Amino acid sequence: MNGIQDGVAVVTGGGSGIGRQSSLRFAEAGANVVVADINEEGGHETVEMITSDGGEATFVKTNVTDSDDVDAMVQTALDEYGGLDFAHNNAGIADEGTRLAEYDETQWDRMIDVNLKGVWRCLKAEIPEMIERGGGAIVNTSSVAGVSANGSAHYAASKHGVIGLTRRATVDYAEDGIRFNAVCPGVIDTPMVQQAGEDNSEEMDRITAGIPVGRLGEPQEIADTVVWLCSEDSSYVMGQPIIVDGGLLAQ
Ligand code: NAD
């Protein structure tokens, strides 16, 4: 894809699922990739997949709820590859499928801290470096739960919030040459969803039957959208929630 070659990308949640696939896709398109994840084993596996295929990647253990970790993640991009051009702020946790009043405050705080404030911490660290570089492109992972009532209340609130951050960042930093978009996956076949399927296979069958295309999405179908949103091929797409859901929300 145009404009990715020789760039530098950071991907949070790069040790599994969607983030792993976007790390692979960035590397295939010729970027140097900083794979960030709280899960060291998964992160190292992603790096191994990239480097064994001739690509360039580094793992940095990062908890997106810790500002020092997030700053160190961006610093790794600068130290290892000399700058930062692209970011996929993707690390997230799932909801547990319970109704609003059944969650306690600790569960609410954790969901918001990882899924929403985690994206904010990343943006705060990434934006100054992209301004320094003269521009860049950032994709934040939201969800169909960011634009509809899918998912539990606190998950939906966190993912709606990601779209708000994405829109406002666009308005604030378009003049600095930074583009921000959000990707809104439907139900994607990743460990997050596989776990839910193991916990309740009947519910998964019901969910799959409700997707017009009749199957779950593949992580690389999200990754392709993410890399496209960072490429020059999408140069006038700004501040948008891009829904990739097999027709789920078309109904
Ligand atoms: P996944 O569980 O396979 O991957 C999530 C990754 O994030 C894991 O490697 C995990 O270790 C990492 N992570 C979790 N908390 C972290 C933290 N505090 N700091 C750093 N890393 C952390 O799940 P996935 O399906 O690939 O999900 C990726 C993103 O996509 C999430 O934001 C999720 O909400 C979103 N999403 C997923 C689906 C889906 O159907 N799979 C749908 C919509 C949105």
Query: Per residue in 66-91, pLDDT tens?
Result: 999 999 999 999 999 999 999 999 99
The predicted-structure confidence for 242-251, as pLDDT tens digits, reads as follows: 999 999 999 9
Q: Report the separation in Å between the CA atom of 6 and the middle of ligand 1, taken as the mean of its atom positions.
A: 26
Q: Which residues pair with 9 in a beta bridge?
A: 33, 86
Q: Report the separation in Å between the CA atom of 5 and the middle of ligand 1, taken as the mean of its atom positions.
A: 26
- Confidence (pTM): 0.98
Q: Is the CB of 220 under 6 A from ligand 1?
A: no
The full set of domains in the chain, from first to last, is 8-188+220-242 (3.40.50.720)
Structure ipTM? 0.99
Check residue 30 and give left, alpha or beta (phi > 0: left; psi -120 to 50: alpha): left
Q: What distance, in Å, lies between the first and last C-alpha atoms of the chain?
A: 32
Distance CA 20, CA 23 (A): 5
Q: Is the CB of 15 under 6 A from ligand 1?
A: yes
The predicted-structure confidence for 226-239, as pLDDT tens digits, reads as follows: 999 999 999 999 99
Residue with CA nearest ligand 1 atom 6: 13
The predicted-structure confidence for 11-67, as pLDDT tens digits, reads as follows: 999 999 999 999 999 999 999 999 999 999 999 999 999 999 999 999 999 999 999
Give me the pLDDT at residue 184, please: 98
